[in-house]
Amino acid sequence: MSLFNPWVLLGILMTVLGAFGSGYYKGGEDENARQQVEIASLNAKARDTEQAMAKVANTYGQTLRKANDVAKVKEAKLRNDVVSGKLRLFIPVKAPDCPLQAAPDAPVAVGDNSGEARAELTGQASEDLIAIASEGDTAIRKLNSCIESYETLRNMK
């Protein structure tokens, strides 16, 4: 039997190709198994991060709810004080060009902004002003909570 026999050459060629083919197949299977382990590890890490982020979001949500509850109590007290007349709201108005001179011996009220013309708001205007301020405060609290939550989550990575 000669080495140059076509059947021998074909046998050698088939053996070499079989070895390469089985190595390629085995390597593909090993790589697939390694990738599955890595994917499982990354998924577990992502779940842990997600749970931590959810905990942070819940904490900020509870803080925001508490702050909103405190603000609602203060708003209700303010509204009751305005309705009962215990508190009156004033706005500055433009003084006339020729203001009346007060008597020099007239007593000046404590805390009075002497020389400033003021007008008292009506009940409805006071309610509207309190409502606008309350909505603005609520929006600001939400925005600040959102910013704090974002910063905390961004720094978690």
Would you give per-residue pLDDT tens digits along the chain (157 residues)?
Answer: 676 788 888 888 899 999 888 888 888 899 999 999 999 999 999 999 999 999 999 999 999 999 999 999 999 999 999 888 888 888 888 866 655 555 555 444 445 555 678 888 888 888 899 999 999 999 999 999 999 999 998 888 6
C-alpha gyration radius of the chain: 40
What is the distance between the alpha carbons of residues 100 and 81, in angstroms, rounded to a whole number? 32
The structure's pTM equals: 0.59
Can you give the residue ranges of every domain in the chain? Answer: 8-94+116-156
Cβ atoms < 10 Å from Cβ of 60: 19
Locate the DSSP E strands across 19-114.
90-92
Q: Check residue 108 and give its pLDDT.
A: 47
Which residues are within 8 A (CB) of 83 and not within 5 positions of it... i.e. 6 or more apart?
Answer: 123
Amino acid at 28: G
- What pLDDT sits at residue 113? 55
